[in-house]
Every structure is written in C-alpha cells, then in structure tokens.
Amino acid sequence: MLKGKKVVLGISGGIAAFKAASICSKLVQKGAAVKVIMTASATKFITPLTLQTISKHPVYVDTFEELDASVVSHIDLADSADLFLVAPATANVIGKLANGIADDMLSTTLLAVTAPVVMAPAMNVHMYEHPAVIENIERLASRGVRFVDPNEGQLACGYVGKGRLAEPEEVVAAIESYFAEEQLLQGKRVLVTAGGTLERIDPVRYITNDSSGKMGFAIAAEARRMGAEVVLVAGNTSAGEVPGGVSLVRTGSAQQMYDEVLQQLPQTDIIIKAAAVADYRPKQTFQQKIKKTGEELVLELERTPDILQALGQRKKNGQFIVGFAAETEQLEQYAMEKLIRKNCDLLVANNVALEGAGFGTDTNIAKIFDRSGLVQELPLMTKQELASRLLRLVASRIQRSGDRS
C-alpha cells in the first residue's frame, strides 16, 4: 500500500520525537518516499542528520533556508505529498494548525498542504485532556484531519495516563489502512443526499428543519476519498464547501429532491440518504406574501413524497441502500421498523436529543442496524470518522455479497 507513496513527516518538539526515526524507517522499508520537516524544538531531541540518513532526503527545519533555488520549499513539499503525517504532534503544533498559525517550516507547510493530514498526538495526560486541546483536535477532525490516538502508560514526565505516542508499528499501520481505503469503493457510483428541504409557504416563508448537511457532506467526502464517483444531492445546508471531486446537485423542496434522486437511481450502486426531508408541506403555496390579518393563521399540510420508501421499492439487484433515522425516543424500535418498511440494507439511527448528536454539530453518536438487528454501536465521534466507519461497513457488505454471487 505504501510503495511509491510520497509522505511528508512532520516532527514536533517532544520527547517522543525519538520514535519518529523508527516511523520514518518503517515507512521507507515499505516503499514510501519520505521527506522530513522538523521544528527547531524537535532538533533538541533528535538530530536532522539521523532523519536525513534514514530518509535519504534533506531535512527541512528553517523556512528561509531554501535547499533548492528552483522551488519554494514549503509549497513544493505540500504539493508533492500524498499524505502528511505529524508524529509526534504536540499540543503546540495541533493548536497552530487549528487556528491557522504559520510561524515555522512545519506549520507553514501544513497550511499549504491539500493532501490528507494524519496527526499522532503525544503530550502530558493533563495537556491532552485540557479543554483547549480537546477543542483544537475536534476542530481539526471536523476539517478532515485524522488522528492516531495516543496510548496510555508511563509518560516521560512521570505521570501515568493517556498521552504516550502510539508505537511506530501502530502509526504505520494507520497510514497503510488509510491508503488501503482509497480502493474500497473504486468503480462504484455513490449517491448521497444531505441537508434539509424547504417547503414554501409563500415567497418569504418556508417550513424546514435544523439539518446542516454536515453528515451528508462528510459521507460524500469519504466516499470520494475511497475511490467512488460521487453525486451529492443537497437541499438547504450550512456545511461549508463542497468536497473536492464531488458532483453537486442543489435541490429545494422534498419533491425536487425526490425527482432528482429517482433520476439518478438507475446508474447508482450505493445510495445513502442522509438528508432530513420534511414529512409535510403546505397544501397551498401562496404566490404573494401572506399579510398579517388576525391573531391566528391556520396552514393545512399534506405529506411529501417518501424518497427512501421509493428507493426501497425500486431497488434492483446489486444496489445498496443506507437510510438515516433521527429519533428522540425508542430508537431501536423505530429504526428497525423503518429499515424493514423501507427495504434498506443498513440504517443509521441517532438520538438527536443527546448532546453532540443533534443537527448542526460536528460530531455524532449512532447505531447501525441491518435486518438482524444492531450491527455497530458508535460512540461520540466526528461525523467524518462516522462516515469512514459507515462506508467501510458498506464496502465489506458489498464485497461479501459479491463473493456469494
């Protein structure tokens, strides 16, 4: 998986920097081309010469020490990377990247990189648990940065707790796993729906919900990273930029999303309906703004078309459907009923009343069901990580089905 891959290894200043030599060596042994950036503090723990000898490339420390006059080093390194690994990642470098600070070679290059970024934190247990560090990690994770969690054990400071850099074998395994995932959905066409729908009352008012579309956007981004051709059908969203390489189709109402999804269905392999579609719409849409004429206004509502139900009814052999269910009570019962009634292969259910699992957050808590019951119970995690776990499960189910056929 690593043969021919270009990895930039950033080493920041902590005692765990000595492990970076082993990480670099293992990456090189597996065929990766590794270029190293060290902070000035990192050089107090391990020398650039050590990493240069192992990597067979010059080591970068000073932003202004240009080793090749034909390029700007931090831009050239950023552009060349297939993956950027920071190990160890101190609280300082995590904070810099989270807040857009670029004051040395490592942080400057990190801001310029467009390749995936993986960080392996290492620090004192109290630093790792500090609210500022937790917030910075969550912020980076919401942007797609991946983390190799530190281990628990004896720390250099004498404390025992979580904060010790993951072993080199674990870090390299995480990198291999990341590249392996790039092939999981190769050749598949994935359709993802995201956001809420807008059901017009009049030209200035509408019925909608709190869905931000962040879950659907995260799924679309991860599916694209795993090699799929991805179409994202999005309603009303506040999820930010559209993931790179994803085809976006904007819709407004439930009817518009219904029409678009069914049009896309015949040429789609995997459908993931993460959108929060309105169940009802005004029976009458007024062409002019409704004027205030009394103490009460009564609106008559009617059902919107059920997109997931229509997908389940039209599903052909080989197509895979994942539904979502946002609940506030009796989650397991409602999830199983919905999965069976709408002919889904998997259903992701979350209790939006739980802190960190509601609409508009960067995190989620979910349970994944199939017709046999609960498949996976996922704790609080970023929506990007949940998307990755869901898609790995989908890929394994499709592979298993293909092996049987």
pTM of the model: 0.74
Average pLDDT of the residues in 12-23:
95
Provide the pLDDT for residue 404.
55
**Structure confidence at residue 405 (pLDDT):** 53
Round to whole Å and give the CA distance between 384 and 393: 14
Per-residue H/E/C for the chain: CCCCCEEEEEECCCHHHHHHHHHHHHHHHCCCEEEEEECCCHHHCCCHHHHHHHHCCCEECCCCCCCCCCCCHHHHHHHHCCEEEEEEECHHHHHHHHCCCCCCHHHHHHHHCCCCEEEEECCCHHHHCCHHHHHHHHHHHHCCCEECCCEEEECCCCCEEEEECCCHHHHHHHHHHHHHHCCCCCCCEEEEEECECCEEEECCEEECCCCCCHHHHHHHHHHHHCCCEEEEEECECCCCCCCCCCEEEECCCHHHHHHHHHHHHHHCCEEEECCECCCEEECCCCCCCCCCCCCCCCCCEEECCCHHHHHHHHCCCCCEEEEEEEECCCHHHHHHHHHHHCCCCEEEEEECCCCCCCCCCCEEEEEEEECCEEEEEEEEEEHHHHHHHHHHHHHHHHHHHHHHC
Residue 65's pLDDT is 86
Q: What are phi and psi of 14, to 5 degrees?
A: -140, 165
Assign 118 a pLDDT band (cuts: 50, 70, 90).
Answer: very high
Report which of 326, 351, 348, 327 is spatially closest to residue 339, judged by C-alpha positions: 348
The annotation status of 307 as a binding-site residue, yes or no, is: yes
| Stretch 86-100: mean pLDDT | 96
- Is the dihedral angle over the CA atoms 120, 123, 126, 131 positive or is it negative? negative
Flag whether 269 is marked binding.
no
Average pLDDT, integer, range 135-139 = 87
Residue 103, annotated ligand binder? no
Q: Which entry of 111, 157, 160, 301 is annotated as an active-site residue?
A: 157
Mean pLDDT of 373-396: 90
Token digits of residue 177: 């796993």
Count of CB atoms situated within 10 Å of the CB of 305: 16
pLDDT digits (tens, 9 = 90+) for 159-173: 677 888 999 999 999
In tens, the pLDDT along 278-330 reads: 999 999 999 999 998 888 889 999 999 999 999 999 999 999 999 999 888 99
The SS3 assignment for 193 reads strand
What digits encode the pLDDT tens for the residues 253-286?
Answer: 999 999 999 999 999 999 999 999 999 999 999 9
Cα Rg, the chain, nearest whole Å: 24
pLDDT tens digits, one per residue of 233-249: 999 998 878 888 899 99
344 catalytic? Reply is no
Rounded to whole angstroms, the Cα distance separating 226 from 68 reads: 34
CB distance 201 to 367 below 8 Å:
no
**Residues 382, 142: Cα–Cα separation, whole Å:** 6
Is 35 annotated in a binding site? The answer is no
pLDDT at 162: 80
**168 in helix, strand or coil?**
helix
pLDDT, the chain, mean: 91
Any binding-site annotation on 68? no
pLDDT reported for residue 193: 97
Q: Per the CATH hierarchy, to which homologous superfamily does domain 6-181 belong?
A: Flavin prenyltransferase-like (3.40.50.1950)
Two tokens at 361?
């957050």
Instruction: Give per-residue pLDDT as tens, 319-376.
Output: 999 999 988 899 999 999 999 999 999 999 998 888 877 788 888 899 999 999 999 9
Provide CATH 3.40.50.1950 ranges for the chain: 6-181
> Which residue would you say has higher pLDDT here, 117 or 242?
117
| 338 annotated to a ligand binding site | yes
Residue 99, both tokens? 């807040």
Does pLDDT of 156 surpass 90?
Answer: no
Bridging pattern class, strands 160-164 and 151-154: antiparallel
pLDDT of residue 403: 60
| Residue 133 and residue 94 in contact, taking contact as beta carbons nearer than 8 Å | yes
Which residue from 7, 13, 3 is spatially nearest to 48, judged by alpha carbons? 13
Instruction: Please provide the CATH number assigned to the domain covering 189-404.
Output: 3.40.50.10300
Q: Which residue has the higher pLDDT, 299 or 400?
A: 299
Q: Spell 177-209 as b/e; 16+ CB within 10 A means b.
A: ebbebeebbeebbbbbbbbbbbbebeeeebbeb
Q: What is the mean pLDDT of residues 102-119?
A: 94
Q: Where in the chain is the domain with CATH 3.40.50.10300?
A: 189-404
